[in-house]
Structure 1
């Protein structure tokens, strides 16, 4: 499993100038290679000799690899669209799906292969171009003791140098061995939503609600109001700043919720966490004027990913189940019907909170879902 650590960089003016130039040259080179490839010229056999870039050869090689990856993904998307349009044409439909646009890197960044950077004595060394020649520069950093322990023992991957706000940081990927999983323990089902961000039900009968959906929706509405106000005042830079602030706040909330969920799972000897497969959740969820905006900007996927990687680090297996009828099916008699707002009452007499019902049915579900298929377990 791959994780990453962010490290602050303390640069001199000369070093910052070199790094900013390298970052801009890097994305320009990648964009140029992508443009060449999408216009019909193959770059599959390109080497540094075929690329005119003011970069060290190590970074130019990385540009070629990144461009190939982007082009492969773009071609795959084009094939998918072509297949869908062909199917629509066979059905004599007047609808056609637009071809995907060619990807373009906009944010200055730079990727450095693990063979071309070194972490040593609170410094990171990597190559840049100085007066037309490749030279290594040593950037002073602030590395915690925990990060030093990680970098000393883990296999390092690619380093990305990127802007974080107005500062330039280094993000270093490293490999972590996944622990062996066992099923000898409790099972936790988690239902994700808007009014209640997450509800967990454990097979030992434990129940817990996480987060404050009302507070989250208030913050979303508040920032939406600020964007509208700043838009009328024609202040795009201020809009960008509050967008970044809103995303940081919501990401922090998701981190805290996922941390709390995994902490609860560990304390109850949970060995398997079950989540709903969240594909098409926006199209399958009932909408209203009040929650339509929240539904279409809510990051269910991000919270699920945070839960998954934190659970794996704790040695807990994560499985995705079929979400059909999890908030409508009675676990006692099996009848399916809608809840009345948050209250679910069945004709057999069973009654429960709707979100808790979802978590309970997810916990008990045996319909495990892959990318496209459902497989049943015994």
Structure 2
């Protein structure tokens, strides 16, 4: 499993200038390579043959790229460009294939035999927008593990100084935990990026071995994610726990939205961006704490499996209103599910996703389906409970397994 660690950098003014120049040159080089090897007429894709072949870009070397970058960074630019071109080419082929299926479907309109897959692909085409060539905008650069060194509280990496590739050592501050992680694990690429307008940070990718299954018991935990109540867990041994405070989260969102609105009227975009970043940091921290608490509860009750709902496309399929629209579109269910997933794997607990339909409406005793009144669920058979707890119970008892990933 791959995890990441972020370290703040404390460069001098001269080092900041060198690093920023390297980052801007890195981004422009990747964009130039991508634009050269993708279809220029991206707004009207007629044929996949118009797109240049991937083989031509696979032969690209640093000698073919004119950039004021060290050769190591130039090689990384080529790798990034290859990845972008490959994804773009794949997307174009999918659109071309869907267009052909649409034409075939029109010719077979009068016939009774219709292929279900073709009909589904035609529906997907309508949702697809015009494919545009990807353009990188955010300043950053990637350096592979062979071209940077970490010694004490300094990180050294190559930049261009007077037309020559030279290393600079930038000061940083690392906790004892970070030092232990970076010294004892195999590191991947390092990404240097700007955070909060002026702060430079280095993000490291490192590999960690997943723990084998620890618990041999048959105890299963079902977790229901929501807006008013961020998470509710139910185990087969009967234990129940509620996590987080949905009203507090909603207040935080509303508070920072009002602040941004006020500063937008005052025409202060930098303050708006800073407030947005602060809000995101707070909400991420809340999701981390909730996911940690859920996994710790699973370990305490020796749960073998944590079951979650796969809530993809929930925003487009659920009923919306003016009142719940902001809450629905700021709900970070996917991020919370990802945090639960990777923390459970590190603890040796499996994560499974189940079909989410009717989990908050189906009675676990008689099987009848009907809506709850606000948070209270009362069935005709006499069964009553909290609506979110009902969801956790049905998720725990569900046998409709649809994978072990957040998305299909």
| Corresponding position: 1:236 with 2:269 | yes
1: distance between equivalents of 2:356 and 2:208?
30
- Match in the other structure for 1:274: 307
Which consecutive residues of structure 2, in runs of 5 or more, have no partner in the other structure? 40-50, 107-121
- Match in the other structure for 1:114: 145
2: distance between equivalents of 1:158 and 1:371?
27
Q: Quick one: which of 151, 171, 174 aligns to 2:206?
A: 174
2: distance between equivalents of 1:83 and 1:358?
40
3-state SS, counterpart of residue 139 of structure 1: strand
Q: Quick one: which of 347, 353, 361 aligns to 2:386?
A: 353
How far has the Cα of 1:95 moved from its partner? 4.9
2: distance between equivalents of 1:249 and 1:80?
39
- Match in the other structure for 1:251: 284
**1:135-173 deviation digits (Å, cap 9, x = unpaired):** 122222212221222122211111001112121011111
Contact kept, 8 Å, 1:81 with 1:98, in 2: the verdict is no
How far has the Cα of 1:303 moved from its partner? 0.7
**RMSD across aligned positions (CA):** 2.2
Is the deviation greater in 310-319 or in 182-191? 182-191
Contact kept, 8 Å, 2:243 with 2:290, in 1: the verdict is yes
Contact kept, 8 Å, 1:198 with 1:209, in 2: the verdict is yes
How far has the Cα of 1:284 moved from its partner? 3.0
How far has the Cα of 1:91 moved from its partner? 5.6
Contact kept, 8 Å, 2:352 with 2:404, in 1: the verdict is no
Q: Quick one: which of 179, 183, 194 aligns to 1:152?
A: 183
1: distance between equivalents of 2:309 and 2:146?
40
3-state SS, counterpart of residue 374 of structure 2: coil
- Match in the other structure for 1:63: 77
- Match in the other structure for 1:337: 370
**1:177-205 deviation digits (Å, cap 9, x = unpaired):** 00112562321111111111111111111
How far has the Cα of 1:132 moved from its partner? 1.5
Alignment: residue pair count: 374
- Match in the other structure for 2:61: 47
Gap change, CA 1:78 and 1:294, over 3 Å in 2: farther
How far has the Cα of 1:234 moved from its partner? 2.8
| Corresponding position: 1:197 with 2:230 | yes
- Match in the other structure for 2:37: 37
1: distance between equivalents of 2:229 and 2:143?
41
3-state SS, counterpart of residue 360 of structure 2: coil
| Corresponding position: 1:140 with 2:135 | no
Q: Quick one: which of 128, 132, 157 aligns to 1:101?
A: 132
How far has the Cα of 1:371 moved from its partner? 8.4
Gap change, CA 1:77 and 1:294, over 3 Å in 2: farther
**1:242-273 deviation digits (Å, cap 9, x = unpaired):** 21121111111111111111121122112211
2: distance between equivalents of 1:26 and 1:48?
13
TM-score (normalised: structure 2): 0.86
Contact kept, 8 Å, 2:140 with 2:194, in 1: the verdict is yes
Q: Quick one: which of 216, 230, 249 aligns to 1:184?
A: 216
3-state SS, counterpart of residue 81 of structure 2: helix
TM-score (normalised: structure 1): 0.93
1: distance between equivalents of 2:277 and 2:182?
29
